[in-house]
A and B are shown apart, each in its own frame.
Chain A
Amino acid sequence: MSTPDALAVPPSSAGRQSGGRGPGDAAPSRPLSLSYGAVLLPLVVGAVFLLIWDLAVRLSGSTLFPKPFDVALGIIELVEQGLLFKYVVASLFRVTWGFTLAVLVGVPFGLLLGWFRRVQEAFNPMIQALRPISPIAWIPLAILWFGVSDAAPVFLIFLASVFPIAVSTMAAVQGVQMVHLRAAQNFGLTQFQLFRWVIVPATLPQIVTGLRIALGIAWLVVVAAEMIAVNSGLGYLIIDARNAGKRYDLVVAGMTLIGVIGWLLDLLMRQVERFPAVRWAYGARHE
């Protein structure tokens, strides 16, 4: 059959040759460039910060508060004693367990909350009432139930991260667009298929973002829990260094390690956001 219409021209002959992205037709993606600004500027800011810190300590004449160089020496001391590796592993171990349990419980629970209105109506008030209770407030109960063991901080991390995970997953499901549900139903999907092929992929990016936030909270909480409930880990390092000999160089060394490791954990979660299964939702800035 001959094409009856002079206008029936494919829309994008230019885009086809370039293998996917035609100029004008499809939005061009901007490559993320690591310019001098991305490396140099933070280094300058960091250096200025250290300089001010150093000067402030020298000018105040404080003997307790450490200078940046003292903190660096403190970290080296921790490495030599074999404590650094041991404490970092201990903290990461607890976060891994608490966070994994929270994901395993929080994501399915959040999906149920988002999908079934009755479940949401039944559980949401309780969740909203439990959520504002600081994980720190649970420490006495955690020690009562689990004693001084790894289980106590794991429980606290679980508590701290399960609610944000469940709530963000619920919100993600509730945010699935009606037009996508209808389009999928139109193709005769069963409830299970709808869940598997629409709800899960549609919500995954928002779930991953929720996980990223929850992991940040988990890392905050492990330090607090270790200060009270156990005798190892970076939180314990801080409280022990202060109590044992007012070693504020080690206190700040512990804080520095917590900061750097927390940052690395977040970078790790950002890598997850680059997977194709979730990247579609984040826009060109992640490409």
Chain B
Amino acid sequence: MNELSGPGRPANPSVQAAVVASDLGLTFPGKRAGEEVRVLKRIDIDVRPGEFVCLVGPSGCGKTTLLNLLAGFQKASRGEVLVQGEPVHGPDRRRIYIFQEGGVFPWLTVGENVAFGLRRKTEMERQRIVQHYVDMVGLTGFERVYPRQLSGGMRQRVELARALAADPAILYMDEPFGALDYFTRFKMRADLVRIWQQERKTILFVTHDIDEAVQLADRIVVLSPRPASVQAMVAVDLPRPRDANLPAYLHTRDRILGIMGMDLWSDKATRSDDASTNEGHQRQGSLTHSLAERSGPGHTETQG
């Protein structure tokens, strides 16, 4: 499969959406009437099968809560979530959640962790699958090691392998690299893109790191501050691996920063300077990238 053909192109209308959230709202009852805490205002999202969608938003806006609702760990007060046409009533092995930190079981070795979702398989098949995914995430040789003996990045790799081994259609990832150092995060993103291109899972990825979102996503859902609603959807139609120096990349990033009201450091002088030195790149970049943005809910996305 050519990895450039899938992501970023318009959805095939005959393909059922992988995840649809419609009119999703969440309000926590307060101690007294009129003190309700509104977390999510009104969320409409649809994700195509195999799509890599990043959810970004200011911290505390309810990104993780939204992901918990989509995954079925929490119940919405309004609206519903459909996964492959079925309403979500709870967690399910067909959609696996990857936690920010500490999701691997410390009492199991790496191999046993990866085998956790494979109880129904025969011993031989289990071994084969475990080895396949341990190799895929680059942990060959660590099968008998306990998570405590691993670095934070390696533990996240274990969790990714455990999720992939269960062969889910969807991966929910809640800032999975948020607790890692800069260089590890860098490698993890690159490896995740490689694995996603091999495995073709639908991924919903929460992050507060806009660079991360632009690195990874086919489409970025920008959430507003609490109570969260979808502020914009930005398609990132750049070939992977993505060059973080390309003007198109920077433009996308700054655009999202702008949407989030943080455009103060996209200094005009620097930008025009940049453009004059990289004119060729700039032209090429503006051809390859396309942005589809929507400013409010209910507005259907147009692309192409």
Chain A contact residues, CB within 8 Å of chain B: 1, 3-12, 15-17, 19-21, 25-27, 29, 177, 179-180, 182-188, 193, 197-198, 201-202, 204, 277, 280-281, 283
Find A4's partner among B3, B71, B93, B116 (CB 8 Å cutoff). B3
A277 contacts B3, C-beta separation under 8 Å: no
Question: What secondary structure prevails in chain A residues at the interface with B?
Answer: loop
A281 contacts B106, C-beta separation under 8 Å: yes
Within 8 A of A (CB), among B40-94: 71, 73, 90-93
Bound complex: CA of A168 vs CA of B102, how far in Å?
A: 23
B298 within 8 A of A: no
A16 contacts B91, C-beta separation under 8 Å: no
Known: A26-B145, A182-B97. A16 touches B140 (CB 8 A): yes
Chain B contact residues, CB within 8 Å of chain A: 1, 3, 71, 73, 90-93, 95-97, 99, 101-108, 116-117, 119, 138-142, 144-146, 148-151, 153-154, 157, 159, 166, 184, 186-187, 190-191, 193-194, 197-198, 240-241
- Most chain B beta-carbon contacts within 10 A, residue among A4, A6, A185: A4
B148 contacts A187, C-beta separation under 8 Å: no
Known: A20-B142, A25-B154, A187-B117. A4 touches B102 (CB 8 A): no
A11 contacts B190, C-beta separation under 8 Å: no
Bound complex: CA of A3 vs CA of B241, how far in Å?
A: 10
A186 contacts B93, C-beta separation under 8 Å: yes
Known: A1-B197, A15-B141, A283-B148. A8 touches B191 (CB 8 A): yes
**Which 10 residue pairs are nearest across A and B when measured between Cβ atoms?**
A10-B138, A7-B190, A16-B141, A188-B93, A201-B107, A187-B117, A8-B194, A5-B241, A186-B91, A5-B190
Bound complex: CA of A25 vs CA of B151, how far in Å?
A: 6
Instruction: Given A5-B191, A26-B149, output 11 extra A-B contacts at Cβ < 8 Å.
Output: A4-B241, A5-B240, A7-B186, A20-B142, A20-B149, A186-B71, A186-B92, A187-B166, A188-B91, A198-B105, A202-B105
Bound complex: CA of A281 vs CA of B3, how far in Å?
A: 43
Listed A/B pairs (17) with beta-carbon separation below 8 Å: A5-B191, A6-B241, A7-B190, A11-B138, A11-B157, A11-B187, A16-B142, A20-B144, A183-B105, A186-B97, A187-B96, A202-B107, A204-B107, A280-B106, A280-B146, A280-B148, A281-B106
B96 contacts A186, C-beta separation under 8 Å: yes
- Most chain B beta-carbon contacts within 10 A, residue among A19, A25, A183, A186: A186
CB proximity of A197 to chain B, nearest CB, Å: 8
Bound complex: CA of A197 vs CA of B140, how far in Å?
A: 25
Bound complex: CA of A148 vs CA of B223, how far in Å?
A: 75
Known: A27-B149, A280-B146. A12 touches B138 (CB 8 A): yes
A5 contacts B149, C-beta separation under 8 Å: no
Known: A186-B93, A187-B116. A7 touches B106 (CB 8 A): no
Bound complex: CA of A9 vs CA of B194, how far in Å?
A: 10
